[in-house]
Amino acid sequence: MQSVAIIRLVGGRLAWYPPGAGEEPAWLDAAAAREALRATLAQRGARACFAAPAADLRLVTLAVDPQERRHLAGSLSFMLEDQVAQDIEQLHFAAAPLDRAHYGVGLCTVRKMTEWQALLADFPGLRRWVPEPLLLPWQRGQWCLVSEGGAVLVRTGECAGFGIERATAPVLLAAALREGPAPQAVIVYGDDQAADTALLPEPLRTLVQWRRGNFCTAMLLTGDAGVPLNLLQGRFMPRLPLARWWRQWRAVAAVLGVTFALQLLATYADYRRLSSENRELREAVQESYRSAYPSGAIVDAEKQLRRQLDALRGAAQSSGFVSLMARVGAAVAARPGTAISSINYNDQRGEIRMHILAADFEAVEQVRAAMSQAGLQAAMESSSARGEQVSARLRVGERS
């Protein structure tokens, strides 16, 4: 993990391995090292993780049915209840999928997680806590073992491994060999090849590939994709720093709040003013309508007035009574001795039914012909003699 900064507890002291660091870590007891780490964490795109001590946690590979996958977060602790001696309420569980049927699970006490949180409180930005064994390089069919002083760190699988004291390493390594398939190679990092090889069970000693180095040396060969599990899950999942953001932005938020409130008040004042003006205009329109038409219901004064005006002007969309009557009256007035005795106007059809009195039938025919010349369609429906005059009934309308 050459591009990742690693923070680790070594002998109860916090140390960190900068990206591309040499074999020795920088101890965070020193102020300069703490500042260097904070500067690294503050960089955009910086990657860092905390190596959770292997001695304080346990790694398990768990077979999971497809139906259980969606409920795994809530049922994980109960699925492992028979494999732990402590009360599950005191334990923290974190899981990561390895394939479609298996999950890697890390568990440790809630007390340890809380202690590590307190130790790392001065270094915000650590959003990954990885078990120490999973930071060692691993390939399928291999084990990796790092011997450091009186401790041994072992990785035996994709999400399997442990950390133990050197004195008990032979017993636990033999148990690990019995529980799983034998590796095809064992990569060992240490200072004494003979002593380090002697830690392994006899069948594995011929498979050893010994290399001089320590945890930092081994870690440089680990790819980031080989670290599947993050302990920061559930109650320990990183939270957004809302309090810090509020302290940084509260002045800006206050200015924006005041500006928004003033804008809201100004908008409300404009609304009240415009509502009052609209009400006054509506009252003025209604008064104007009543001055022209005192009776009748007012639904839409403007539209109603337009219809009345169109009717008076003889607009095409209205009945055009005035225009029609003007041409009919002109045709009748042009024939002396002719008069209209009655008239009936049909608004839907746009036509007039009228009775006229004329001196003779010829005069009636002249009136009808004059109406036709005026662009009207005039039809005589009936005629009769009335004393010395002739009464005729005409139907007059616009020519189609």
Tens of pLDDT, residue by residue over 35-74, are 888 888 887 666 888 999 999 999 998 888 877 777 787 7
Residue 308 lies in a domain: no
120 and 153 in a single domain? The answer is no
Residue with tokens 């005729």: 392
Token reading at 267 = 């908008």
Residue 327 shares a structural domain with residue 194? no
pLDDT at 319 over 70: no
DSSP string, 233-264: -GGGSPPP-HHHHHHHHHHHHHHHHHHHHHHH
338 and 260 belong to one structural domain: no
260 and 155 fall within a common domain: no
Round to whole Å and give the CA distance between 355 and 338: 11
* Averaged pLDDT for residues 299-307: 74
Share the mean pLDDT of the chain. 85
Q: Are 326 and 296 within 8 A, CB to CB?
A: no
Mean pLDDT of 360-383: 87
CATH number where 117 lies: 3.30.420.380
Indicate whether 27 and 120 sit together in one domain: yes
Residues forming a β-bridge with 106? 59, 94
Q: Which domain holds residue 345?
A: 319-398
Contacts of residue 276, Cβ cutoff 8 Å, sequence gap at least 6: none
Is residue 96 domain-shared with residue 233, that is, in the same domain?
yes
Angle between helices 301-313 and 242-292 (to 10 degrees): 40
Task: Let me know if residue 261 belongs to a domain.
Answer: yes
69 and 146 inside one domain:
no
Span 133-159, mean pLDDT? 91
Q: Does residue 30 lie in a domain region?
A: yes
How far is it, in rounded angstroms, from Cα 191 to Cα 61?
31
Domains in the chain: how many in total? 4
The pLDDT assigned to 45 comes to 66
Q: Are 49 and 117 part of one and the same domain?
A: yes
How many residues in the chain? 400
Cβ of 371: how many Cβ atoms within 10 Å? 23
Structure tokens at 139: 């390939």
Residues 272 and 234 in one domain: no
- For residues 73 and 182, state if they share a domain: no
User: Closest Cα partner for 22 from 226, 222, 227, 220?
Assistant: 220
- Angle at alpha carbon of residue 337, lines to 335 and 342, rounded to 5°: 90
Q: Which residue has the higher pLDDT, 176 or 47?
A: 176
Residues 289 and 207 in one domain: no
On whether the pTM is more than 0.75, the answer is no
Q: What is the pLDDT of residue 329?
A: 87
- Condensed to tens digits (0 to 9), the pLDDT of residues 233-290 reads 988 887 766 666 777 888 898 899 999 999 999 999 999 999 999 988 888 888 877 7
Do 276 and 207 lie in a common domain?
Answer: no
Establish if 310 belongs to a structural domain: no
In a domain, 305, yes or no: no
Question: Is the pLDDT at 99 greater than 80, yes or no?
Answer: yes
CATH at 334 = 3.30.1360.100
Banded model confidence at residue 113, pLDDT cuts 50, 70, 90: very high
